Chains A and B, each alone.
Chain A
Amino acid sequence: MKFSRLYLTFIFFVLYMPIFYLIYYSFNSGGTMHHFESFTLDWYKEVFADTRLLIIVLHTMIIALLSSSLATIIGVFGAITIYYAKHRWKQTLLTLNNVLIVSPDVIIGASFLILFTIAGIQLGFTSVLLSHIAFSIPIVVLMVLPKLQEMSPTLIDAARDLGANEWNILTKVILPYITPGIFAGFFMALTYSLDDFAVTFFVTGNGFSTLSVEIYSRARQGISLSVNALSTLLFLFTLVLVVVYYVITQRASAKGGQK
């Protein structure tokens, strides 16, 4: 037991090491990443003074919120459709859904690029939004479907027995029941969209950029510690999202836990 604990600590240390290294030097006044001179918040000031960067942050947020909201709506109805589908269909749909989740971002990105070019959609905000919605839907489906399957089918019979029509059943029974799954799906989609680099890199253009792509291009141009500061902020924001997600799922399982 003791060994496994040690092992885990070591693994996590290795995994988090680069991030903390990067965060540490974001406070370095020296301007390089090998020698720490003294503590400064200059790099953060630089980030907040950079209006182009702030606009990109805004774009990233808008894309993330819009794409995850739309993906959640589409994904929930997709999950309900799969839930009601006949057995053979169900398997096919589920497999198609899972293939999308495991296929490499590069392939998804490249195929979107081809699709948008053929369809004549200008690369930029719309293309990024559409592709983010597309890769988020399977994630939402994957989070919502288990909640649906966990729901006893007699619940729907019971609602009908009490006079509910199909709309009542959807709004008063199914949706409230799967709400925790919907939130989980939404937050997963949100973090995926915020983080995404590969797909966005393919389908963006015409000056439109998201944070990940921007950090990438800045990091390539040369080392400025403002990239560190920016990454730190992004890391903290993701951390907040994870905590929110954790709290929501915890509350949900505490509620439905005793059955």
Chain B
Amino acid sequence: MDDRVIIRFNHVTKQYDNDLPVLDDVSFEMERGKFYTLLGPSGCGKTTILRLIAGFIEPTKGDIYFHGKRMNNVPANKRQVNTVFQDYALFPHLNVFENVAFGLRIKKIGKEDIERKVKEALRFVNLEGYEQRAIHEMSGGQRQRVAIARAIVNEPDVLLLDEPLSALDLKLRTEMQYELRELQRRLGITFIFVTHDQEEALAMSDEIFVLNKGKIEQRGTPKDIYDEPVNRFVADFIGESNIITGTMIDDFVVEFANQQFACIDRGFAKNERVDIVIRPEDLELTTVERGKLRVRVDSVLFRGVHYELCCYDTYGNEWLVHSTKKADIGEEIGLHFEPEAIHVMKRSGGE
């Protein structure tokens, strides 16, 4: 077995009572020292995966391995894993120093060592000098850092972060994204980060797991997932895009909106029904004559860096376009795109 693998889920299912499974036969591996993100809509099972890794709950079926050893029945307090909770879960009756020192005190580490390690952990998260503060005197962003310091001071192999940035305002959130990524590089340990914000996932991760209804829809680098979503759900979730159904006429030829287009995809059956993705930023505004598609502008929004145009073709398909050029509502325009902009996906059932 590859000794870079630190966590392995082997056909893990988690089910409460007789409800539908919260996690359904999930298998994956995670490597040492990487930044992983679990991305998915609320209720898809992200927290459940973290709680399984942390040891707060046990799988109904399947096995969880840690450094190649089966961990199913090892209690949470015996695992080399620490968690940064969504609500931070700081101890309100202890000050900042004692919160961070909590884990070390339980391990009965010497007084001087505790002092040194806590100071160091607080320096890591830029909170030197805040040792004696009470928790209620700290701002949201500072509490966040205390929670991180409290976790990393125990030198875990894996740090679990459950939507740690969701309670912060936008500016602070962007700042913390950089800091977390930087922290992970400096510590060199595995981070498993949970979010439902796709931009955050794309910006921070080495690898993203896209989850839906207790299953992993796709795993890959941010670029893979953005450029090559495997199905409609992933394409839709990972960013604004135009998803329409079409037919694969032949290798490199696809038909949608009643026209045939050259594309770079192949390996589908002849005349197979497929889903087509074209990102709004890959559509270029042009004249009706020069455009590959002819659409009517329905609404225009100014988004700062670009205009967001919502257009309809004659077959009723909606086309979202990001363009630096403006168009008038009701105007007929042409849309141009390169063959590489067309991404063809297998149809997933149900969606």
A162 CB-CB contact with B under 8 Å: yes
Q: Across the interface, do A161 and B76 meet the contact criterion of CB distance under 8 Å?
A: yes
The B70-95 residues at the A interface (CB cut-off 8 A) are 75-78, 81-83, 85-87, 89-94
Q: Across the interface, do B103 and A163 meet the contact criterion of CB distance under 8 Å?
A: yes
Q: Across the interface, do B154 and A162 meet the contact criterion of CB distance under 8 Å?
A: yes
Choose among A158, A163, A168, A179 the residue that contacts B89 (Cβ–Cβ < 8 A).
A158
Task: Please list the 6 inter-chain residue pairs (A to B) with the smallest Cβ-Cβ separation, ordered nearest first.
Answer: A162-B103, A158-B89, A154-B89, A258-B136, A176-B93, A160-B76
A53 CB-CB contact with B under 8 Å: no
CA distance A172 to B56 in the complex (A): 19
Q: Across the interface, do A177 and B102 meet the contact criterion of CB distance under 8 Å?
A: no
Choose among B86, B92, B106, B136 the residue that contacts A162 (Cβ–Cβ < 8 A).
B106
Q: Across the interface, do B82 and A161 meet the contact criterion of CB distance under 8 Å?
A: yes
Choose among A152, A162, A257 the residue that contacts B87 (Cβ–Cβ < 8 A).
A152
Q: Across the interface, do B92 and A256 meet the contact criterion of CB distance under 8 Å?
A: yes
7 A-B pairs with CB atoms under 8 Å apart are A154-B85, A154-B86, A160-B75, A161-B56, A161-B81, A176-B91, A179-B93
A164 CB-CB contact with B under 8 Å: yes
A159 CB-CB contact with B under 8 Å: yes
Q: Across the interface, do A162 and B82 meet the contact criterion of CB distance under 8 Å?
A: yes
Q: Across the interface, do A164 and B92 meet the contact criterion of CB distance under 8 Å?
A: no
B186 CB-CB contact with A under 8 Å: no
Q: Across the interface, do A152 and B102 meet the contact criterion of CB distance under 8 Å?
A: no
Chain A residues near B85: list those with CB within 8 A: 154, 157-158
Q: Across the interface, do B92 and A177 meet the contact criterion of CB distance under 8 Å?
A: yes
Q: How would residues 262 to 304 of chain B score, 1 for a CB under 8 Å from any chain A CB and 0 otherwise?
A: 0000000000000000000000000000000000000000000
Q: How would residues 61 to 77 of chain B score, 1 for a CB under 8 Å from any chain A CB and 0 otherwise?
A: 00000000000000111
B82 shortest CB reach to chain A, Å? 6
Choose among B77, B93, B94, B137 the residue that contacts A163 (Cβ–Cβ < 8 A).
B77
A29 shortest CB reach to chain B, Å? 54
Q: Across the interface, do B92 and A161 meet the contact criterion of CB distance under 8 Å?
A: no
Q: Across the interface, do B150 and A162 meet the contact criterion of CB distance under 8 Å?
A: yes
B161 CB-CB contact with A under 8 Å: no
Known: A152-B89, A159-B91, A162-B102. 15 other contacts (CB 8 A): A152-B87, A155-B91, A157-B76, A158-B83, A158-B89, A160-B56, A160-B76, A160-B77, A161-B77, A161-B83, A162-B77, A162-B150, A164-B77, A172-B102, A177-B91
CA distance A179 to B94 in the complex (A): 13
The A141-165 residues at the B interface (CB cut-off 8 A) are 152, 154-155, 157-165
Q: Across the interface, do A177 and B93 meet the contact criterion of CB distance under 8 Å?
A: yes
B116 CB-CB contact with A under 8 Å: no
Chain A residues near B82: list those with CB within 8 A: 161-162
B171 CB-CB contact with A under 8 Å: no
Chain A residues near B107: list those with CB within 8 A: 163
Interface residues on B, range: 20 to 34
CA distance A241 to B91 in the complex (A): 30
A259 CB-CB contact with B under 8 Å: yes
Q: Using A168-B106, A256-B136, A258-B136 as known contacts, say yes or no to A163 and B154 having CB atoms under 8 A apart.
A: yes
Number of A-B contacts (CB under 8 A): 70
- Tally of contact residues, A, Cβ under 8 A: 23
Identify the B interface with A (CB < 8 A).
54, 56, 75-78, 81-83, 85-87, 89-94, 102-103, 106-107, 134, 136-137, 150-151, 154
A169 shortest CB reach to chain B, Å? 9
A80 CB-CB contact with B under 8 Å: no
A23 CB-CB contact with B under 8 Å: no
Chain B residue with minimal CB distance to A259? B136
Chain B residues near A172: list those with CB within 8 A: 102, 106
CA distance A168 to B106 in the complex (A): 8
B91 shortest CB reach to chain A, Å? 6
A123 CB-CB contact with B under 8 Å: no
Chain A residues near B87: list those with CB within 8 A: 152, 154
Chain A residue with minimal CB distance to B90? A158
Chain A residues near B93: list those with CB within 8 A: 176-177, 179
Chain A residues near B54: list those with CB within 8 A: 157, 161
A74 CB-CB contact with B under 8 Å: no
A162 shortest CB reach to chain B, Å? 4
A173 CB-CB contact with B under 8 Å: yes
Q: Using A152-B89, A172-B102, A176-B93 as known contacts, say yes or no to A157 and B56 having CB atoms under 8 A apart.
A: yes
A71 shortest CB reach to chain B, Å? 24
Q: How would residues 120 to 158 of chain A score, 1 for a CB under 8 Å from any chain B CB and 0 otherwise?
A: 000000000000000000000000000000001011011
CA distance A155 to B94 in the complex (A): 12
CA distance A152 to B147 in the complex (A): 15
Chain B residues near A168: list those with CB within 8 A: 106
CA distance A256 to B83 in the complex (A): 24
Q: Using A162-B82, A162-B154 as known contacts, say yes or no to A157 and B89 having CB atoms under 8 A apart.
A: yes
Choose among A157, A163, A255, A258 the residue that contacts B106 (Cβ–Cβ < 8 A).
A163
Q: Across the interface, do B92 and A165 meet the contact criterion of CB distance under 8 Å?
A: no
The A62-78 residues at the B interface (CB cut-off 8 A) are none
Chain B residues near A157: list those with CB within 8 A: 54, 56, 76, 83, 85, 89
CA distance A160 to B92 in the complex (A): 16
CA distance A164 to B56 in the complex (A): 13
CA distance A162 to B92 in the complex (A): 16
Chain B residue with minimal CB distance to A254? B136
A175 shortest CB reach to chain B, Å? 10
Chain B residue with minimal CB distance to A158? B89
CA distance A252 to B15 in the complex (A): 41
